[in-house]
Amino acid sequence: MRMSKSVLIEQIKVAVRSIRGQALRTTLTVAIISIGIMALIAMVTATESLKENIRTEFSSLGTNTFTIKPKRQGGFFNGRRSSPTSSINYRETRRFVKSVESDLTVTSSIYVTSSAIVGRGSKRTDPNIPILGIDGNYLNVASIPLSKGRGFTIAEGEEGIPLIIIGANIEEKLYEPWETVVGTNLILSGSRYLVIGVLESRGASFGMSQDNQCLIPIPSVRRQFSDNNKNYTITCAVEDPEQIAQGTDLATGAFRMVRGDAPGSPNSFEISKSNSMVETLLEATSGITLAASVIGIITLFGAGIGLMNIMLVSVSERTREIGTRKSLGASIKAIRTQFLIEVIVIGQLGGAVGIALGLGLGNLIASYFETPFVIPWGWIAVGMTLCMITSLASGYYPARKASLLNPIVALGRA
């Protein structure tokens, strides 16, 4: 016999009254369920925020770029000792650029130091300014935007004119809001540079500020800081992402010739594609999501046991109510449905509280690492589904036991 809408509504009301009558036990059960869901949602939210940050940071390189770096230095790999490789130097980068410039857009850069001081008048920064040497193609290939001014021209990047592009934090530290930045002079580690641009604020990436750096031409690096024993990084871009494999093969052959790698010998350098780096990092974060899922499921399993225990106790304490309802004509289905509604309500309450706490905690962790605010809708749906499954699995046996009570026996026990 099909249950009418009015009967279902009445059963829901009865279930809610019963839950309110067992406030302490209900609260403890909701708390246990919410802890499991909170652990799951918090970890997933923080992980999704990290993934979004990875996508945002590496999307600036696009899917049409790849990077050439020196191979990892000596050590044991696959049981064999790997001989150390020499660093990529300035002459190699220039020879490579000339050999492929008709087919690829190439930029080179060199990391100089992370402890430089920039000054203007009586103002000084802390000795924690990273300096990066770049050429005229760097900003375009890396898709790094400027908030003011311009980047280096190809000629300026090759001639080493003392020009500088500064980060947003340096502008804030050395200039007042009403002052003009572009066209002024700064002192970088004792040398005077003309400011031609300011990088757009990009926040932090993996805990490192992107707004606290300075970019200068590579010849200026060689003149002031020296590039001996320092590695150059080469980034190449193709016009069409579908040409990335062809471009990689071309660059590999050209750079082997530049490095003098013998035929049949392994490359003395590594080529990494920007999209493959993103995939690798995203795969690394999947382990965190898996761990969160296991923690959440284990906690929910314990919550399910606690919920079943509460419902069994509830059945024992409410034998008179069950007997009275059955003697007045309540069907087995109606009794079973009432108890199932109770466990579902408790489970969904725990899920809602856990999701709210998890979102708050997850995004609090994300804000600490300065990654974006996210709401993982898919995982929220998974969390609510897990709560529903846990409720039904733990509540079915007590509900069935209640529905099969003999009304005469139930009234007699009361």
Picking from 234, 267, 300, the residue at the C-terminal end of a domain is 267
Q: Which residues does 217 contact at the CB level (< 8 Å), separation at least 6?
A: 133, 134, 135, 152, 156, 157, 158, 159, 160, 161, 163
Q: Are residues 153 and 238 in the same domain?
A: yes
pLDDT value of position 158: 86
For residue 69, tell me if it sits in a domain.
Answer: no
pLDDT value of position 12: 73
Length of the chain: 414
pLDDT value of position 358: 87
Q: Are residues 257 and 297 in the same domain?
A: no
Compute the average pLDDT of residues 282-308: 70
Can you say how many angstroms the Cα of residue 26 is from the centroid of all Cα atoms in its chain?
35
pLDDT value of position 282: 60
Alpha-carbon gap, residue 90 to 232, rounded angstroms? 7
Q: Are residues 184 and 251 in the same domain?
A: yes
Residue 349 identity:
L
Query: Which domain range does residue 207 map to?
Result: 86-267
- Does the structure show a pLDDT above 80 at 306? no
Q: Are residues 321 and 185 in the same domain?
A: no
pLDDT value of position 206: 46
What total of structural domains would you count in the chain? Answer: 2
- Does the structure show a pLDDT above 60 at 313? yes
- Label residue 253 by pLDDT band (50, 70, 90): very high
Query: What does the pLDDT look like over 187-219, one tens digit per residue?
Result: 998 899 999 999 998 765 544 567 889 999 999
Q: Are residues 49 and 90 in the same domain?
A: no
For residue 62, tell me if it sits in a domain.
Answer: no
Picking from 267, 292, 307, the residue at the C-terminal end of a domain is 267
